[in-house]
Amino acid sequence: MSHTFDAAADDLLRLWQDTTLPRQDPEQIARRVARMKLARFDRMITLRNLREYVAVVGVVIWAGWQMMAGGDRIAAGLAIAGALFVGGYLWRQHRHDPPIDPSMSARDYQIALLQRIDHQIRLLMSVRYWYFLPLTLPSLRIAALNWNSRPWSTLLFLAIVATIAIAGLWLNERAAVGFLRKERARVESLYEGEGS
Amino acid sequence: MRHTGHHTAYEALLKRYLAPLQRLAFAYTRDAGAREDLFQEIALALWTALPSFRGDASERTWLYRVAHNTAIRFMARRLRRARHEHPDDGVTEPVSPVNPERTAIDSQQRERLWTAVQALPVPDRRLVMLHLEGLSAAEIEAVTGLSAGNVATRLTRLRQKLATTIGKGQER
């Protein structure tokens, strides 16, 4: 019986390994791949962070220029401090974030993938504290300064700031986190029933 | 184009494992376009990971780890886009045998084997693929990170299931 079973198993291996698919040229594949760079996912994260760093530099230059041009020094100072804080926080969060090593065992790779997603979720869930709060403070200072002289335009200004903040919060805490949770479920579903 | 050491080693690796990698991509997705994309991603992941290969694991174990992990990530992305794409049609494409005089029965059995493997849940499929490529239980353990006992139990069940599938078809 065992002999029959082994023979059947050997037959499966033979059937599988005798399968040939349209031949590709390894040299051609190597040339093509050598021209390609980072994997898409890691490139996406790098590009998104790069965009944030460019925005930080933009805010610092703009606020510095405001300061030199005789604008409110406290508001400009708050803007520079807020932008540097956001940039620094992002850098700190991602400095130990190299691409996940694909030569790990499947189990370790799954853990690393899920940890990466969970880290992103935690970062997005706290975005109101480390992103929106520091960047909103200079706007509140400007509003306080102008409240007595131009109340209606200040009110409009505050409404615009609040709308942008609420939209940003919704995009990050709801939409992006929802997307990542689905991504997490998809990764988990691909390892379902694996055990240990 | 000047070939560096990395390039030469990579090309040699591809030459050695081209057929297993093609079979791996074929087992993960039946859609021809997606299969091509997956193969490209695996090829790219191997290129990127090759310089960090220190020989702690066997070349084969290392290669299958990279290939399967890349495939899983590809599948997760594909599930995300699934509603915008044409779903797999469920039909296994004909696979030509190495030997032209291979019997029609062999060809039918092969087709049934592929259909059965492609229908398995991803973790089982990965286990079966590794087994069918001839990896030992210890190598499968190293690739998947599962315990030896778990690998053995599941493989016994899966091999029986596959052998029955093939056998049943033959009886008809």
Q: Please, which pLDDT band fits residue B90 given cuts at 50, 70 and 90?
A: very low
The answer to whether residue B78 scores a pLDDT higher than 70 is: yes
In 3-state terms, what secondary structure has residue A19?
strand
What CA–CA distance (Å, rounded) separates B100 from B80? 40
* Residue-level pLDDT at B52: 85
Q: Which of these, A20, A106, A188, lies nearest to B62 by C-alpha position?
A: A106
The structure tokens listed for A125 are 């869930």
Tell me how far the alpha carbon of residue A192 is from its chain's centroid.
25
User: Which band of pLDDT confidence, cut at 50, 70 and 90, is reported for residue A99?
Assistant: confident
Place of tokens 């032209």: B100
Residue A35 pLDDT:
63
Please give the pLDDT value at position A168.
92
The nearest CA of chain A is from the CA of B98 a distance in Å of: 6
Backbone angles phi, psi at A36, to 5 degrees: -90, 155
User: What is the tens place of the pLDDT at every residue in B93-122?
Assistant: 445 555 555 566 677 888 888 889 999 999
| Residues A175-186: tens digit of each pLDDT | 999 999 988 988
Between residues 130 and 149 of chain A, which touch chain B (CB distance below 8 Å)? none
Q: Is the ipTM of this complex over 0.85?
A: no
pTM above 0.90, yes or no: no
The confidence score (pLDDT) of residue B88 equals 47
| Percent of chain A predicted with pLDDT > 90 | 46
Q: What is the pLDDT of residues A64-73, one digit of tens each?
A: 998 888 888 9
pLDDT digits (tens, 9 = 90+) for B1-53: 455 777 788 888 988 999 999 999 999 988 888 888 899 889 988 988 888 88
Residue A40, pLDDT above cutoff 60: no
pLDDT at B99: 53
Q: How far apart are CA A78 and CA A63, in angstroms?
A: 9
pLDDT attached to residue B91 = 38
Specify the pLDDT at position B94. 45
CB pairs under 8 A between A and B: 168
Model confidence at A74, pLDDT cuts 50, 70, 90, reads very high
Q: What is the mean pLDDT of chain B?
A: 81
Q: How confident is the model over A47-73, as a mean pLDDT? A: 88
* A192 pLDDT tier (thresholds 50, 70, 90): confident
DSSP B71-107: HHHHHHHHHHHGGGSPPP-S-PPP-EESSTT--HHHH
pLDDT at A19: 82
Q: Which positions 47-106 of A are in contact with B (Cβ < 8 Å)? A: 99, 101-106
State the pLDDT at residue A176: 92
A55-82: average pLDDT: 92
Place of tokens 């944030």: A52
Percent of chain A with pLDDT over 70: 87
* Structure confidence at residue B155 (pLDDT): 92
Determine which helix (DSSP H) or strand (DSSP E) holds A20, and give its type and residue range.
strand A19-20
* Amino acid at the residue A74: I
For residue A11, the chain B residue with the least C-alpha distance is B163
Nearest CA in chain A to B134: A13
Pick A20's closest partner by Cβ from B98, B124, B146.
B98
Q: Is the pLDDT of residue A98 over 90?
A: no
Please give the pLDDT value at position A196: 56
Which positions in chain A touch B122 (Cβ < 8 Å)? 190-192
